[in-house]
Structure 1
C-alpha cells in the first residue's frame, strides 16, 4: 500500500490501518484527504435519487436496496477519508462486502418469478457477510478484505454473464459498467505502486490541475462508483425485461444515464 503520511490534524492522529497516497490535511484543514473525500459524491447523490425513483416506480425492494448499498459505501468512504479513523475505515470497507452481496442477490434473481426466493443462496450470502466481518475484526489485514471483495466481484461478473445470455439487449450497459470499473481498478493500482512518483510530481509543480489529475484514488472512486451505478442499472434492466415492463436507458440532461421505467401493466 501507499507509504504512511500520518499527519495529525483536525481529526487527531490517524488510527486506520491504511493511509492513501493523497497528502493529509494539505487542501483543507478539516478534511484529512480532501480529494479522496469529495470524490465520493458520485456514490452518494446518484444512487439516492435512483432509489427514490425506483421506489416511485414500484421496483422490487432489492433494487432499491442495491442503490442504498452504494450510497452506504459512499458515506462510509467519505467518513473514512475525511477522518482516517479505524472505525470509519470499517464503515467504508464492510459495506463494500455487504453491498456486493445485495448486488449478487438482485442479479441472481433477475429471471425469477415474482416473490420467489432462493433461500440457500440468501443463507450463503449472509454467512459470507458474517464470516468476513468476524475474521476481519480479528485479523485487521486490509489484504484479507481486498481479496474477499475481489472474490465477490468475480462471482458478480459470473452472474452478469448469465444475465447477458438471457437478454443481449443489456450488453452495452454491462460492458460500460465493466470497463469503467476496470479502469478505476487500474488507477487504484497505479496510485499504490507509483505513489512516491506521484507525490514527487505534485511537490515539484505548482500546477493545481496536475495535483488534481494525480489524485488517482479519488479517480478510482469516480470511475468505480460510476461503474457500480451502471451495474445496478444493468441488473434492474434485466429484471424489468423479464417482467416485460416498459423500460429504456435514457439520459438526464443528455448527460447522466438512467433507466426510464413505464408504469406497471
Structure 2
C-alpha cells in the first residue's frame, strides 16, 4: 500500500518492503510516517514505568522482561516508521516475534512454582525465534512475518 505522493526525506529513498497508508514526509522532512511514529510513544513510555514498578514490587524477572519487550517493540516501530528503511523494518518486526515469545512464556508460566524457570520452554522459544529470524532474513516476505505473528499467540 504505497501512498499517493512519494516524497523523499532526510533518510533517503524507502527501502522497506512495506509502506503504510500514511503520506510520507507530510509533516516533517525528518519523519516518514509522522503519526505512525509518534503513536509509538504509548508503546515506549508506559512499559518503562511498568518495568520499574515490577522491580520495585519484587515481581519475577519475566514480568520485567515482558514490559521491556514492549518498549523494544515501540522503539523499533518508531525507527521503522520514521525512516521506512528495511533495516529499521527488521528492528520493528523481529522484536514483535521475540516479545510474543516472551509473552507466550509468561502465559505458560502463570501457574508455576515461584522463581522456577522452565528451561525446556525457554530453549524451545529461543530456537523458534532463531529459526524465524533466519527464514525471514532469507525470504524477505512480510506475509511470512504476519502469519508467524498471528499464529504464535494462538499456541496457548
Q: Please tell me the TM-score bracket, short chain as reference.
A: over 0.9
Displacement of 1:154: 1.4
Instruction: Provide, for residues 232-265 of structure 1, a one-character-per-residue CA deviation record: whole Å limited to 9, x for no partner.
Output: xxxxxxxxxxxxxxxxxxxxxxxxxxxxxxxxxx
Work out which of the two has the higher radius of gyration on C-alpha atoms and give 1 or 2: 1
* Residue in 1 that maps onto 2:94: 94
CA distance in 1, matches of 2:115, 2:6: 50
Output the TM-score relative to the length of structure 1.
0.57
Task: Please name the residue that 1:41 is paired with.
Answer: 41
Q: 2:60·2:115 contact (CA, 8 Å) conserved in 1?
A: no
Structure-1 separation of matches of 2:66 and 2:42: 15
CA distance in 1, matches of 2:130, 2:154: 19
| Structure 2 SS opposite 1:145 | helix
Segments of 5+ residues of structure 1 without an aligned counterpart are 159-265
Corresponding residue of 1:143 = 143
Q: Equivalences for 1:199-210 in 2 at 5 Å?
A: none
Provide the rounded CA distance (Å) in 2 between the counterparts of 1:124 and 1:3: 37
Give distance in 1, aligned partners of 2:111 and 2:56.
22
CA RMSD, aligned part only? 1.1
The equivalent of 2:84 in structure 1 is 84
Query: Deviations for 1:49-103, whole angstroms, at most 9, x for unmatched residues?
Result: 1100111111001100100000000000000000001110000000000000001
How many aligned residue pairs are there?
155
> In structure 2, the residue corresponding to 1:87 is in which secondary structure?
helix
Q: Is the 8 A contact 1:7 1:14 kept in 2?
A: no
Which residue number in structure 2 is paired with residue 128 of structure 1?
128
Q: What is the 5 A alignment of 1:141-180?
A: 141-155=141-155, 158=156
2:142 and 2:15 map into 1 onto residues whose CA distance is: 14
Write the mapping of 1:198-237 to structure 2, written as runs, cut at 5 A. Answer: none
In structure 1, C-alpha distance between the alignment counterparts of 2:114 and 2:49, rounded to whole Å? 25
- Identify unmatched segments of 5+ residues in structure 2: none
Alpha-carbon shift at residue 6 of structure 1 (Å):
4.2
Render the CA deviation track for 1:143-164: whole Å, top value 9, x for unaligned: 0000011111212xx3xxxxxx
> Higher strand fraction: Structure 1 or Structure 2?
1
- The match for 2:16 is 16
Give the TM-score normalised by structure 2: 0.95
Q: Which residue of 1 aligns with 2:2?
A: 3
Contact 2:15 2:86 in 1 (8 A): yes
Q: 2:123, 2:147 → 1: CA distance?
A: 21
**SS of structure 1 residue aligned to 2:39:** helix
